Amino acid sequence: MIDSVEFFCPNCDEKVNYPATFCPHCNSVLSRVDEKLSSLNQKRKLIMISIYSMCVLFGIDSVLVESTKVTIKDFLLILMFAILVTFFCVVDAKLRKKTIPDFSKWLIFFTWPISVPIYILWSRGKKKIISSILQILSFPVVVLVSAILTGIVMILIDPNLFPY
């Protein structure tokens, strides 16, 4: 059985911990959470861990690779990131009981730098605009922090690496 899984109340869209029988925010009676919801929640967590891991890789790669040419490795990193954020949107929409048409899934994939922030704002609603913006900004912050930390480690290893 499931110990503690977060899901969203279908009435107010607030987080609720399983095995709650009513929403602590709006007092709506909740139906029993099935295994599919738990599975989707686990997939979403795994996808988010993968997305943040990709952000760390982007940050490290930006410091270690001096080339300004786009290589096959860069293409594969971006492709993998596009796949992950598209999967995140699809799984998150299912958990939030929102529908993303099939064509829109392809649109998210090809235009992810624009469409994913739009999806996050749309799916969270006006009530959660601040947390939505913070979630959107967390990805470039992780890239930047990992790049800075990589630079610091490289300077500690070899102080002559950056002569200025």
pLDDT in tens, 55-70: 999 999 888 887 677 7
Task: Tell me how far apart the terminal alpha carbons of the chain are, to the nearest angstrom.
Answer: 59
Q: Which two tokens stand for residue 92?
A: 């998150």
Kind plus residue range of the DSSP H or E element containing 142:
helix 129-157
Those residues whose C-beta lies under 8 Å from the C-beta of residue 19, and which sit 6 or more positions away, are: 2, 32, 33
pLDDT category at 3 given cuts 50, 70, 90 is very low
* Residue-wise pLDDT tens digits, 23-53: 888 887 776 555 566 778 889 999 999 999 9
Q: Dihedrals φ, ψ of 123, to 5°? A: -75, -25
Residue of higher predicted confidence among 51 and 7: 51
Give residue limits of the domains in the chain: 1-33, 39-157
Give the SS3 label for residue 19: coil
Strand (E) positions, the chain?
Answer: 6-8, 15-17
Q: Which two tokens stand for residue 66?
A: 């001096």
**How far is 124 from 103, CA to CA, in rounded Å?**
21
